[in-house]
């Protein structure tokens, strides 16, 4: 599974999944980046839906809750995930986060719930970002998933007196993160999800990096 192996000095991405003539090819390379645009209010339409025949191991709870979840092989689009963001200067390169221990619908994954997003951003990702970036930098970032979600929806009702069900567009918010801290940020994400019992279903997250030629 493609993952991030970067250090704290450059925030480089080491594995790149590329489409070449519509066929997937896994390349091993070091790609220096100028930063990362992350999306604090992910959109369902940005989840993986194409037929990528790459599998990973996820864990599913059986009918007996007394038994531990069993490992199963699954195509990555069926694993709980969301689009974390894009590489600065190369927006065709996308980065999804896969959660192997988070329950996914056995009929096929569609999206994380707002509750899942709130736990991930408010208890894991944003606190770590605030630890590594200065207040001058973080003052421009949303304080929570809820704030980011409402900000992404605010533009759809601007100038409208009534918000109807037929008008459900969502703005893709993006915020730049400087590259020098990205490696340590991800290390802290792994450590936090591993050590906190209330966030155990987010443990062992994987990064899936892809691009289209």
Residue 87 lies in a domain: yes
Tell me the residue range of the domain where 51 lies: 13-62+69-156+171-212
User: What is the model's pLDDT at position 82?
Assistant: 93
Q: Does some domain include residue 179?
A: yes
> Looking at the domain assignment, is residue 136 inside a domain?
yes
- Within a domain: 123: yes
Which pLDDT tens digits describe the chain residue by residue (213 residues)?
334 444 433 334 434 444 433 444 444 344 446 788 899 988 888 888 776 678 888 998 877 878 888 898 888 889 999 999 988 887 788 889 999 999 876 667 889 999 999 999 999 999 999 999 999 889 989 889 999 988 887 655 444 444 444 445 667 778 889 888 888 899 999 999 999 999 999 999 998 888 775
26, containing H or E segment = strand 23-31
The per-residue pLDDT for 107 is 67
- pLDDT for 106 equals 64
Domain-located, residue 166: no
Residue 35 sits at the vertex; the CA angle it makes with 151 and 11, to the nearest 5 degrees, is 130
* Summary count for the chain: helices (H), strands (E): 5, 9
Three-class SS state of 91 = strand
Q: List 80's β-bridge partners, or say none.
A: 99
Per-residue H/E/C for 156-184: HHCCCCCCCCCCCCCCCCCEEECHHHHHH
Q: Is residue 2 in some structural domain?
A: no
In a domain, 119, yes or no: yes
pLDDT at 45: 80
Domain count, the chain: 1
Q: Report how far residue 137's alpha carbon sits from residue 150's, in angstroms, rounded to the nearest whole number.
A: 21
Tell me if 130 is assigned to some domain.
yes
**Tally of CB atoms within 10 A around 173:** 18
Provide the pLDDT for residue 155: 57
CA–CA separation, 59 and 63 (whole Å): 13
Q: Which residues contact 160 (CB under 8 A, 6 or more apart)?
A: 167
């Amino acid at each position: 599974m493609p993952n991030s192996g970067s250090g704290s000095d450059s925030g480089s991405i080491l594995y790149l999944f590329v489409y070449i003539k519509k066929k997937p090819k896994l390349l091993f390379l070091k790609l220096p980046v100028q930063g990362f645009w992350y999306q604090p209010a992910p959109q369902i339409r940005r989840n993986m839906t194409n037929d990528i025949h790459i599998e990973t191991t996820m864990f599913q709870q059986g009918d007996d809750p007394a038994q531990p979840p069993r490992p199963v092989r699954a195509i990555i689009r069926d694993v709980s995930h969301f689009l974390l963001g894009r590489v600065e200067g190369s927006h065709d390169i996308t980065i999804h986060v896969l959660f192997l221990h988070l329950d996914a619908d056995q009929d096929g994954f569609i999206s994380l719930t707002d509750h899942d997003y709130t736990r991930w951003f408010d208890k894991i990702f944003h606190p770590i970002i605030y630890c590594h970036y200065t207040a001058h930098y973080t003052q421009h970032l949303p304080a929570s998933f809820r704030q980011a979600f409402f900000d992404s929806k605010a533009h759809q009702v601007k100038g409208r007196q009534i918000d109807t069900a037929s008008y459900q567009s969502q703005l893709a918010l993006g915020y730049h993160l400087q590259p020098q801290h990205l490696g340590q940020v991800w290390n802290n994400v792994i450590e936090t999800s591993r050590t906190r019992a209330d966030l155990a279903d987010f443990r062992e997250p994987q990064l899936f990096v892809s691009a289209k030629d």
